[in-house]
Structures are given as C-alpha cells and as structure tokens.
Amino acid sequence: MIPAAPLPTQPRRWQQLWRDAVRDPRELLDLLDLQAHAPAMSPEAAAQFPLRVPRSFVARMRRGDPHDPLLRQVLPLDEELRPAPGFGLDAVGDGAAKAGHGVIRKYTGRALLVATGSCAINCRYCFRRHFPYADETAAAGGWGAALAAIRDDPSIEEVLLSGGDPLSLSTAKLVELTDALRGIPHVRRLRIHTRLPIVLPERVDAELEAWLAALPWPLVVVVHANHANEFDGEVDAAMRRLRAAGALLLNQAVLLKGVNDRVETLAALAERGLAAGVLPYYLHQLDRVAGAAHFEVDDATALALHAALVARQSGYLVPRLVREVAGDASKRALAHPDGRAVPTVA
Ligand SMILES: *Cc1c(COP(=O)(O)O)cnc(C)c1O
Ligand code: SF4
C-alpha cells in the first residue's frame, strides 16, 4: 500500500506576497509613472544583484519622483558599476570571523546566526549583494552545527538571528531553533535583526506573534528603516503585534546619500519610529561594498548631521553613529578628527 503523503502545508499569506514581489525594473518604473527615467536604470547592475521589492513597499513610494528615498534604495543604477577604490567584497571581515556554519562570534557574549541568505527586498547598499550565503546558513541541516557552536561556548549569553532576513524562514523553522535553544542554559537573551516587519509587515502574522509570545527570554527586535516614509498603517500594526508579543523594538538605519542624509530626514525617521513604538539604535556608516559607493556620506558630514540631531532632539531619539571595522571588539563610534568622542545616548 502506498503510504499517505503528508498534507501539503498551505503557503501563508505573507509567503504569497513575498513571491509576488516586483522583480522587473521596467515594471517598477511603470508602476511609478517613471518610464522616462528608464535610461538611468541599469540592466547590468540588475544582473549582478537583482531587483526585488514587495508591492506594499512600492505603494509607499511617491509616483513620478525619480528621487524617491524608498525607490533609491532598491533601483539598480548605472552608478553601481563605477569602480570605487576602497569598496570591496568583504567589507566587514565576516569571511574571517565565521566560527561554525553560519555562526559569527565577533563580540563578547554574543553569537550572530546567519540564519538564512534570503530577504524579501534587495537593498542596493547591502553587503549581501556579494554574499548570497547559499551554503553557510545556520538553518541548514536542522540548525545542528549552529546549535553545537552555541552549546559549546558558555560565554554566549545572547543569540542574534540575522541574515539575510531570519523572518524569511517559516515560523515552523524558527520554532525548531528556539525549542533547541531552550535547552542551553547559558542563553539568556534573544535578538532578531529583521527588515521584514518594515518591508513586508504581513509577515508579522498571528502565528509569528504566538511564537514570540511564548519565548522564555527577554526579546529584542531590531528592525531596519532608513526613512520615515517606510512606515505606514500596516507597519504600525506589525509593530503593535511585535510589542504585544513582548518584544522591545529598536531601529537601525544606514546613512545613505540621497535617502536620509539631512538632519530633518533623520529627525523625522526617529519621530515616526517612536510613533510606532520603535526607538533608534544605530545609524551605520555604510559598509564599503563594491557597488554602493554612490551612497556614501563622508565622516565629517555624518558627524555634523549627528551633532545637529543631538542638539535638537531628546536623547532617546538619537541613534549611535557607528561604523563596523573588521577586527574591532564592538561597533566603532565615529570620532571627531581631534579625538573627541561623538556624543551618543548612553
Ligand atoms: C553588530 C553585530 C553584533 C551586535 O552588536 P551590538 O553592538 O550588540 O548591537 C553581534 N555580532 C556581530 C557579528 C555583529 O556584526
Ligand atoms: S533587508 Fe537587510 S540584509 Fe536584506 S538586502 Fe536589505 S539591508 Fe541587506
């Protein structure tokens, strides 16, 4: 007798929306009434790192505006192909820091799991354009090697799920991981770094909320929005569900020329985040990855922007301005050339 096949699991709504993402740059330009701007779009850049953007994120872009700050983050442009000295393939030294399959232990007490290589969106400035991480993810092989690496190192108190985007994994797969982590007594905190609640807020469904609510550890979710326009009612609802599940919400942004390199823009981002229950955490200087040079803001400008933020808003609305330097024991705060440290929130 032929054994009954297991019932196929229904794809979740967010998975359908994920698959329905815009991947053709021409379609994106059509949707935004920007057909006339097609010449700036680069098929070569798109071949290097494809366009991918969820439709609900496209809906937050302004029609007819080629400089829209959300559009700039995803549209493949000719500028990416211009060679730029100092911009390479492994900008943050992760190639050297991998301790086990998909586990990066760079900082004391923390293990970062490259849970998966997938994302719902392809951000042009991302190191991921060169690291699809196809063979090195922690989820491979039922999390076995990653769990062993955490179990064997009692100094690891905090597990960070990162990627790619860890919430691109099915909730069942995430449950598998945290069920195993419960058995490791030195793990005391869980942190999730994810852009999905921003770019595909439908990901935060009842199933995800139930998983998070049942976790035994203090939970921090670090989302990633670079501009206030990335928030809308759906994103607010996703943030409410995350908070209802007990998560503390922080935002990390990347300082990007033409996207958020004005003090008003950064202030508006912090304020809009607060309205959704998210406090700023880090403002990153760009990782110097090949193809992203046109997004770079020089350090003097970055410091001046940061100082202006410190001068005008509440301390808790000021992110720490940092850069990741290979070999450092933590993210490095940007410093003034005369050696004064940048004022950051404590
Ligand atoms: C950024 C990062 C962390 C977390 O650093 P925090 O300063 O605690 O946010 C941990 N591990 C790696 C590899 C990182 O890149
Ligand atoms: S969501 Fe994050 S990891 Fe994914 S492409 Fe964007 S910046 Fe990179």
Decide: 306 and 334 in contact? Cβ < 8 Å: yes
Looking at this protein, which amino acid is placed at residue 306? H
Region 46-64: mean pLDDT is: 97
Is 70 exceeded by the pLDDT of residue 334?
A: yes
Region 110-118: mean pLDDT is: 94
Q: Residue 229 and residue 37: Cα distance in Å, rounded?
A: 22
**Predicted pLDDT at 101:** 78
Atom of ligand 2 nearest to the CA of 199: 1
- Say if strands 189-193 and 98-100 run parallel, antiparallel, or are unpaired: unpaired
CA–CA distance from 320 to each of 56, 117, 267, 300 (Å)?
29, 27, 13, 15
Over residues 19-36, the pLDDT tens digits come to 999 999 999 999 999 999
Instruction: Name the pTM for this structure.
Output: 0.94
Selection from 327, 275, 337 nearest residue 302 by Cα: 337
**Which residue, by CA, sits nearest to atom 8 of ligand 2?**
126
Is 90 exceeded by the pLDDT of residue 9?
A: no
Is the C-beta atom of 301 inside 6 A of ligand 1? no
Is the C-beta atom of 119 inside 6 A of ligand 2? yes
Is the C-beta atom of 195 inside 6 A of ligand 2? yes
**Predicted pLDDT at 344:** 47
**Predicted pLDDT at 92:** 61
**Predicted pLDDT at 98:** 55
Is 50 exceeded by the pLDDT of residue 85?
A: yes
CA–CA distance from 262 to each of 247, 302, 306, 307, 329 (Å)?
30, 10, 10, 12, 30
**Predicted pLDDT at 38:** 83
Is the C-beta atom of 104 inside 6 A of ligand 1? yes
Is 90 exceeded by the pLDDT of residue 145?
A: yes
Band (pLDDT 50/70/90 cuts) for residue 130 is confident
Q: Residue 284 and residue 281: Cα distance in Å, rounded?
A: 10
Is 70 exceeded by the pLDDT of residue 304?
A: yes
Over residues 152-180, the pLDDT tens digits come to 999 999 999 998 999 999 999 999 999 99
- The domains located in the chain, with CATH, are 14-80 (no CATH), 99-194 (no CATH), 217-232+242-346 (3.20.20.70)
Over residues 191-240, the pLDDT tens digits come to 999 999 999 999 999 999 999 999 999 999 999 999 999 999 999 999 99
Band (pLDDT 50/70/90 cuts) for residue 54 is very high
Is the C-beta atom of 126 inside 6 A of ligand 2? yes
Decide: 220 and 247 in contact? Cβ < 8 Å: yes
* Residue that wins the pLDDT comparison between 21 and 39: 21
**Predicted pLDDT at 135:** 61
Atom of ligand 1 nearest to the CA of 322: 7
Q: Any bridge partners for residue 22, and if so which?
A: 53
| Axis-axis angle for helices 299-312, 263-275 (nearest 10) | 50
If you search the block for the tokens 């995350």, which residue do you land on? 242
**Predicted pLDDT at 109:** 97
Region 93-119: mean pLDDT is: 82
Q: Which of 34-43, 184-193, 237-246 has the lowest mean pLDDT?
A: 34-43
Q: Which of 248-252, 275-279, 327-331 has the lowest mean pLDDT?
A: 327-331
Closest-approaching ligand to the CA atom of 163: 2
Is the C-beta atom of 110 inside 6 A of ligand 1? yes
Q: Residue 156 and residue 316: Cα distance in Å, rounded?
A: 28
Is 80 exceeded by the pLDDT of residue 146?
A: yes
Residue 225, C-beta contacts closer than 8 angstroms, at least 6 positions apart: 195, 198, 231, 251, 253, 269, 273, 278
Q: What is the mean pLDDT of the chain?
A: 92
**Which residue, by CA, sits nearest to atom 1 of ligand 1?**
331
